[in-house]
Chain A
Amino acid sequence: MKAYLTRRYWFSASHRLHNNAMSAEQNLAVYGKCNNPHGHGHNYALEVTVAGRVEAATGMICNLADLDAFVDEKILQRFSHENLNTLEEFRSVIPTTENLCIEIYGILERGFHHAAVEKIRMEETMLNSFEYAGGREAKH
């Protein structure tokens, strides 16, 4: 019996959207307020969806404590209360929420082995959200 489990996490971080290859005017035109040189912050909601058979012995797809511990150590501690632009991951990648999704999906796919990572979804604000399933079509 295959099922999908989604857990929601929260973290706060700041970023600035700016591409060095573009002029100041182009940056302002493309990124608008997000180009403010001092950066700005969001409360990001991160939803991690894992997929798998429900194990008969435990009734679980995977142990939530394992997922929580992994996300806390590898994702929340890495990104929470950081300026994303200062992190190695975003030295040459613009820290849009699209790119943050791809980065976080990669961390989960490489390091979390208790269940298959189906997709992640991030809300940057209440009005916008992003999903990434490793390039696959996400099951909605």
Chain B
Amino acid sequence: MVYLTRKAEFSASHYYHNPEFTPEENRRIFGKCNNPHGHGHNYTLEVTVKGNVDQKSGFVVDLKDLKETMNREVLDAVDHRFLNKEVKEFRDRIPTTENLAIAIWNWLQPKLNAARLHRIRLYETPDLFVDYYGEA
């Protein structure tokens, strides 16, 4: 079993707000992230897949296919978007980095053929990242 990781970067904006909370609760819990006009990040995404090395190609997965899948399933959906308003997963779910990592897993997992998805690591800033390994 070999693990392979591919990185990608995207920029998006979001804000944190739960309509079931009062404005005061929203401000207390989410702080500056509650600003309704949103704020942006440069996200770094690391997608790790695992599999056996194919004898003929020497690959775990064709990197070009993985890149195209990441571009199509993830970057086209989120790059330069306002996550709360433009991504359907976040119509009724708060676009925290935790939930974004889970959404990315759910987009990619059914689209990968040769290799199995192992981990989504999503950096919101260089000092903050989330790991998701699928349903525990």
The chain A residues found within 8 Å of chain B, CB to CB, are: 1-9, 49, 54, 57-61, 63-65, 139
Report the 9 A-B pairs with minimum CB-CB distance, sorted nearest first.
A59-B94, A59-B96, A8-B127, A4-B131, A2-B136, A54-B98, A59-B99, A3-B132, A3-B98
Cα(A54)–Cα(B93), bound, Å: 11
Among A4, A8, A9, A65, contact of B130 (Cβ-Cβ < 8 Å): A4
The chain B residues found within 8 Å of chain A, CB to CB, are: 16, 18, 20-21, 29-31, 93-99, 101-102, 126-133, 135-136
Cα(A57)–Cα(B83), bound, Å: 17
Among A6, A58, A65, A139, contact of B96 (Cβ-Cβ < 8 Å): A58
9 sampled A-B residue pairs with Cβ under 8 A: A2-B136, A4-B131, A6-B128, A7-B127, A8-B128, A57-B18, A58-B18, A60-B94, A139-B133
Cα(A135)–Cα(B107), bound, Å: 35
Complex contacts, B101 vs chain A, CB 8 Å: 3
Complex contacts, A5 vs chain B, CB 8 Å: 97-98, 128-131
Contact, CB under 8 Å: B135 / A1: yes
B9 to chain A minimum Cβ distance, whole angstroms, is: 18
Cα(A139)–Cα(B96), bound, Å: 22
Given A1-B135, A59-B94, A63-B29: A54 touches B99 (CB 8 Å cut-off)? yes
Complex contacts, A57 vs chain B, CB 8 Å: 18, 20-21
Contact, CB under 8 Å: A1 / B94: no
Complex contacts, A64 vs chain B, CB 8 Å: 128
Cα(A58)–Cα(B31), bound, Å: 12
Cα(A4)–Cα(B131), bound, Å: 5
Nearest CB to that of B131 among chain A residues?
A4
B10 to chain A minimum Cβ distance, whole angstroms, is: 19
Contact, CB under 8 Å: B102 / A3: yes
Contact, CB under 8 Å: B94 / A58: yes
Cα(A3)–Cα(B30), bound, Å: 19
Cα(A60)–Cα(B129), bound, Å: 12
Cα(A60)–Cα(B21), bound, Å: 15
Complex contacts, A59 vs chain B, CB 8 Å: 16, 93-96, 98-99
Cα(A110)–Cα(B135), bound, Å: 28
